[in-house]
């Protein structure tokens, strides 16, 4: 056995965390030899070596291991040691080096865990966060295709497990590949002699372990399932995701969208559990970007200082005008972002959306402008404020500006999410504050242009 | 029979839509007499008369009807005629006059419908929108408590139905009251001779037909169920709600929250399907309220016109200052609204939330203020803008104001949802634009007070 000869070198690579080299050396060997090496080295290093192997090789190595070593290996894979090694690696390294485990290892790993350990240890499987692999449980009953309905029912009774895992049964081939799923209800209704593979049930829907949870949620919604099987890319069954887990996913996805719409990066953890620094970062990042954008308002205002000097009354209505644009923009963005998420609106609908929002903008802007005009006229005639002889023109400036600003707000708010989607970005990024900032700058320009046009020769 | 005597009067009341009087007259009779009247009047009026009866009386009248009349009545209840009558009534009238139907009528009504009709006709049952009654289906299998497991399995096989409705079975007493639920899995695992009532399964969880869908969703999340039975207030089983329907509810609830956070009334229908007038109303209502609030900024600005006249440069930074407060306020409100919805934050946590947001506000405000200060100093030294000799003081005013405004924003944004919840209102009402408006007004005051304190003797 050459195991003894290279062992010190391997150990050194492991202690020095030189994963790439370890991987390069390891793949030079025959799987049977690698199995020998794994048997020889200390148990805590077994798992590390095994983990860096490319999946196909790892699968063969696993097959060459004696049963007690397989069990030992699975235990090592969930050990504290393994976890600390994982935590010390950068996510990039992890994805690069830690390929998915062979299906049989994944299954025994998941199966050996208590519920409390499950969540924590799913991370060790190497599936990226927020993918199906992170939500699956190993609690399902597998059937062979050649079983009769009666044999299958007997098998269900014998293997027992918890009743909720019996809702759907899974027919696997001898290699562990998923062939069909079968609801217990269909099995009960079937004739005793029918082969389970021949029982008519809905077509199989399965998700891959690396499928994003948002996609998994959509599959659940589309196919009205109580559970979906999770497979690896060779079609081996790894586990199931149940509807109650998917409800949690739905809530988490909604939270993510809501926080983005609120103008921050998704927090990912419950509000009160988020560390102070983490929270400040998630919020401060976007706030800084928005602030830099908002600095443009100071630049814009600077350009109109001359007008302000001559008609200071214009300054008084600035917050009113720009915030009205921001508010309508927020509404439009929120509507379109959510409609895109629910697939009620698609990219191809952009012209219809544009038409609707143009109509909404002019109508809403006209109405708010009328309120603004009324305010100026009322305050003047009631003697509350004196806007001077040209108060009607000032009122008109506000009215016209609001039509322009509000219309721009609805258009910007509704088109921005569509543009982001078109660019392959998350539409929810066009948050309410983002749109408001965009509209603030443009709103100022619209306002002062309207003032220049309407008040030239009188106030300006 | 006195049926003939009063029939014309009844018919007149029906044609004239005088529901209250109809109800008053009808309840004067004995149920058996009412049954006679119903048999005698034209089929299209039968249902209307039956519908306005108080439930207890309706139940007895139903019991007095011959079988073919029962079926006819159930058909009439789902007829076009019935639907148009319902549509013509105001929601108030409907709730007042149309009490819930007796359980047996509800069940036969639901059972007689095709899937396409189901959604539309659930409205006819008289349960308010967004309650459990609007989501239930009649597709379930009922067992008697004295059945053995073997008999129950045989019953399941015999009654058949679609396999997905077999996931959970329901044990009813002879009067149709729900006693227990039982998963098919538990039934399959049980000994053949065990009485179904004695099979150990999870405790029963049921929802009332008038339970709000948000509560139903919470029950699903809490108890990890695939289906929940729906009962009336006497405990009669009416139908079931399945997990796939609840996923739709989860999406709809998230949409509602998102739209409220975006600063509008929930739209209730897909964006592109909403009528123009409906959409304008849903958006215009909140916008008008926000606009009226925002008018206060004009008032506030009016009070500081003297300061503006002396230091016009202050006007230049107004949009920057108030929008930064609005943005941080939006973030805080969004975070707390969502955390409240997910029950990650409760009313009792208000002090912890206050502490966190105070810290966040000072930190974020300090950082943004620093950026603002930097901008003034840089633009001045680079010669882009000339803020005059006191540019450092102006920069400082901006810095201090931002700390104040941003801190006020986080506090207002986070406390407002908690206050709304405390008052029994929907926390999501404290939308991003609502908080932004609140902060705009206060932000102006903070800004001018800071300016007054720091610039007195120099610019002011």
Is 90 exceeded by the pLDDT of residue A148? yes
CA contacts within 13 A on the Cβ side of A64: 17
**What is the greatest pairwise CA distance in chain B?**
103
Given a cut of 50, is residue A2 above it in pLDDT? no
| Assigned token pair, B54 | 């108080």
pTM, rounded to two decimals: 0.76
Pairing outcome for strands A207-208 and A178-183: unpaired
CATH assignment at residue B94 = 1.10.220
Residue B154 has a pLDDT of 92
A234 and A313 in one domain? no
Say if CB B231 and CB B178 are below 8 A apart.
Answer: yes
Whether the Cβ atoms of residue A95 and residue A128 lie closer than 8 Å to each other: yes
Look at B353 and A272 and tell me if their CB atoms are within 8 Å.
yes
> Are B168 and B224 spatial neighbours (Cβ–Cβ below 8 Å)?
no
pLDDT along chain B (460 residues), means of 10: 60 78 80 83 78 79 81 76 69 65 76 67 75 86 93 88 77 92 91 90 90 91 88 90 87 87 82 87 88 90 89 91 91 90 90 94 96 94 90 95 96 94 85 86 94 88
Q: Look at B271 and A344 and tell me if their CB atoms are within 8 Å.
A: yes
Q: Which pLDDT score is estimated for A149?
A: 94
Give the end of a domain, one of B232, B261, B290. Answer: B261
pLDDT tens figures, B63-80: 788 878 887 777 777 777
CB pairs under 8 A between A and B: 375
ipTM, two decimals:
0.76
B359 and A278 Cβ atoms separated by less than 8 Å:
no
**Would residue A132 count as lying in a domain?**
no
Domain assignment present for residue B134? The answer is no
- Which of B258, B337, B352 is closest, CB to CB, to A338? B258
- The first and second tokens of residue A48, run together, are 């590390």
Which residues does residue B229 pair with via DSSP β-bridges, in sequence order?
Answer: B240
Kindly list the residues from chain B whose CB atom is less than 8 angstroms away from the CB atom of residue A436. 323, 326-327, 436
Average pLDDT, chain A: 85
Q: How confident is the model at residue A116 (pLDDT cuts 50, 70, 90)?
A: low
CA distance A161 to A147: 19
Give the three-class secondary structure for B180: strand
Q: Do residues B9 and B40 both lie within one domain?
A: yes
The answer to the question of residue A323 being in a domain is: yes
Residues B312 and B433 in one domain: yes
For position B192, which CATH number holds? 3.10.580.10
Q: Kindly identify which residue of chain A lies nearest to residue B168, measuring between CA atoms.
A: A167
Residue of B135, B155, B159, B163 to mutate when probing chain A, most A C-beta within 10 A: B163
Give the DSSP H/E element, type plus range, for residue A188.
helix A184-189
User: What is the percentage of chain A residues whose pLDDT exceeds 90?
Assistant: 37
Domain count within chain B: 3
Tokens of A248: 């949690």
Of B226, B297, B371, Cβ closest to residue A226: B226
More confident residue, B112 or A340: A340
Say whether both A324 and A409 belong to one domain.
yes
Query: Residue A136 domain-assigned?
Result: no
Contacts with A188 from chain B: Cβ below 8 Å: 153, 156-157, 166, 184, 188
Residues B112, B146, single domain; the answer is: no
- For B1, B10, B12, B13, B62, the CA distances from B6, given in Å and listed in that order, are 10, 6, 10, 11, 20
In a domain, A269, yes or no: no
Chain B neighbors of A280, CB-CB under 8 A = 360, 363-364
> Which of A91, A126, A161 finishes a domain?
A126
Place of tokens 């969208």: A257
Model confidence pLDDT, tens digit, residues A342-356: 888 999 999 999 999
- For strands B178-183 and B168-172, give the pairing: antiparallel
CB contact under 8 A, A244 and B220: yes
**Which of B135, B160, B271 is most worth mutating to test chain A (most A CB atoms within 10 A of its CB)?**
B271
Phi-psi region of B302 (alpha: psi -120 to 50; beta: other; left: phi over 0): alpha
Range of the domain at B173: 141-261
pLDDT bin (cut points 50, 70, 90) of residue A119 is: low
CATH of the domain at A423: 1.10.357.20
Same domain, B295 and B408: yes
Q: What six digits make up the tokens of B386? A: 């000339």
Strand A237-242 to B141-144 pairing: unpaired
Long-range Cβ pairs for the range A303-311 (8 Å, 24+)? A303/A448, A304/A444, A304/A448, A305/B312, A305/B316, A307/A448, A307/A451, A307/A452, A307/A460, A308/B312, A308/B315, A309/B312, A310/A459, A310/A460, A311/A451, A311/A455, A311/A459, A311/A460
Among B94, B124, B154, the domain boundary falls at: B124
Looking at the structure, do residues B105 and B154 belong to the same domain, yes or no? no
CA distance B362 to B365: 5
CA distance readout (Å), A420 to A315, A347, B53 = 34, 10, 56
Determine, for residues B254 and A257 on separate chains, whether the beta-carbon distance falls below 8 Å. Answer: yes
Tell me if B246 and A247 make a contact (CB, 8 A cut-off).
yes
Give the count of beta carbons closer than 10 Å to the beta carbon of residue B60.
16
Higher pLDDT, B98 or A236: A236
A167 and A280 inside one domain: no
What's the pLDDT at A385? 87
Is residue A121 domain-shared with residue A152, that is, in the same domain? no
For residue B166, is it within any domain?
yes
pLDDT value for B1? 43
Which distant-in-sequence residues (6+ apart) come within 8 Å of B16 by Cβ? none
φ and ψ of A259, to 5 deg: -65, -35
Look-up: residue for tokens 């949620």?
A217
User: What pLDDT, on a 0 to 100 scale, did the predictor assign at position B167?
Assistant: 85
Q: Are residues A72 and A202 in the same domain?
A: no
Span A191-221, pLDDT tens digits: 999 999 999 888 899 999 999 998 999 899 8
Q: Is A209 part of a structural domain of the chain? A: yes
Helix axes B318-341, A432-455, angle to 10 degrees: 150
Mean pLDDT computed over A363-381: 95
Residue A451 confidence (pLDDT): 94
Token couple for B113 = 């419908």
Kindly determine whether residue B251 and residue A250, on different chains, have CB atoms separated by under 8 Å.
Answer: yes
Cβ distance of B331 and A287 shorter than 8 Å:
yes
Residues B234 and B302 in one domain: no
pLDDT of residue A3: 44
Contact B371 A183 (CB under 8 A): no
User: Per the domain annotation, does A135 fall within a domain?
Assistant: no
Residues A192 and A292 in one domain: no
Show the CA angle centred on residue A416, arms to residues A412 and A417, nearest 5°.
135
Residues of A in contact with B368 (CB under 8 A): 287-288, 291
Q: Tens digit of pLDDT for each residue in A391-442? A: 999 999 999 999 999 999 999 999 999 999 999 888 887 778 888 889 999 9
SS3 string of B318-366?
A: HHHHHHHHHHHHHHHHHHHHHHHHCCCCCHHHHHHHHHHHHHHHHHHHH
Q: Which tens digit of pLDDT belongs to each residue from A243-291?
A: 888 888 888 888 888 888 887 888 888 888 888 888 888 888 888 988 9
Comparing A384 with A160, the larger pLDDT belongs to: A384
């Amino acid at each position: 056995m050459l195991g003894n000869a290279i062992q010190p070198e391997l150990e050194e690579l492991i202690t020095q965390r030189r994963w790439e080299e370890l991987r390069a050396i390891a793949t030079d060997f025959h799987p049977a030899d690698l199995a020998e090496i794994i048997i020889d080295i200390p148990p805590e290093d077994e798992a590390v070596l095994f983990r860096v192997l490319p999946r196909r090789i790892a699968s063969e190595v696993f097959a060459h291991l004696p049963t007690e070593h397989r069990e030992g290996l699975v235990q090592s894979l969930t050990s504290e040691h393994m976890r600390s090694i994982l935590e010390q690696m950068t996510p990039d390294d992890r994805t690069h080096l830690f390929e998915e485990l062979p299906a049989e290892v994944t299954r025994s790993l998941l199966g050996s865990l208590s519920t409390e350990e499950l969540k924590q240890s799913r991370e060790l499987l190497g599936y990226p966060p927020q993918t199906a692999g992170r939500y699956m449980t190993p609690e399902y009953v597998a059937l062979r295709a050649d079983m009769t309905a009666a044999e299958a029912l007997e098998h269900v009774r014998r293997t027992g497990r918890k009743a909720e895992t019996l809702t759907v049964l899974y027919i696997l081939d001898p290699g562990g590949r998923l062939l069909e799923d079968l609801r217990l209800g269909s099995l009960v209704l079937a004739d005793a002699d029918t082969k389970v593979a021949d029982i008519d049930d809905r077509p199989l829907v399965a998700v891959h372990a690396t499928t994003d949870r948002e996609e998994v949620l959509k599959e659940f919604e589309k196919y009205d399932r109580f559970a979906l099987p999770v497979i690896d890319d060779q079609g081996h069954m790894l586990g199931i995701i149940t509807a109650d887990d998917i409800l949690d996913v739905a809530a988490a996805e909604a939270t993510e969208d809501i926080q983005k719409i609120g103008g921050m990066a998704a927090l990912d953890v419950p509000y009160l559990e988020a560390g102070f620094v983490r929270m400040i970062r998630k919020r401060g990042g976007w706030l800084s970007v928005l602030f830099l954008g908002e600095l443009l308002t100071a630049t814009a205002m600077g350009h109109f200082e001359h007008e302000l000097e001559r008609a200071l009354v214009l300054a008084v209505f600035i917050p009113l005008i720009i915030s009205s644009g921001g508010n309508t923009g927020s509404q439009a963005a929120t509507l379109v972002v959510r409609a895109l998420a629910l697939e009620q609106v698609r990219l191809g609908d952009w012209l219809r959306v544009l038409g609707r929002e143009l109509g909404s903008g002019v109508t809403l802007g006209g109405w708010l402008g009328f309120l603004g005009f009324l305010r100026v006229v009322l305050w003047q005639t009631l003697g509350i404020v004196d806007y001077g002889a040209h108060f009607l023109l000032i009122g008109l400036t506000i009215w016209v500006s609001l039509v322009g600003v509000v219309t721009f707000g609805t258009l910007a708010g509704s088109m921005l999410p569509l543009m982001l989607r078109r660019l392959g970005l998350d539409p929810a990024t066009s948050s309410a504050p983002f749109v408001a900032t965009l509209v603030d700058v443009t709103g100022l320009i619209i306002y002062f242009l309207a003032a220049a046009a309407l008040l030239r020769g009188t106030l300006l």
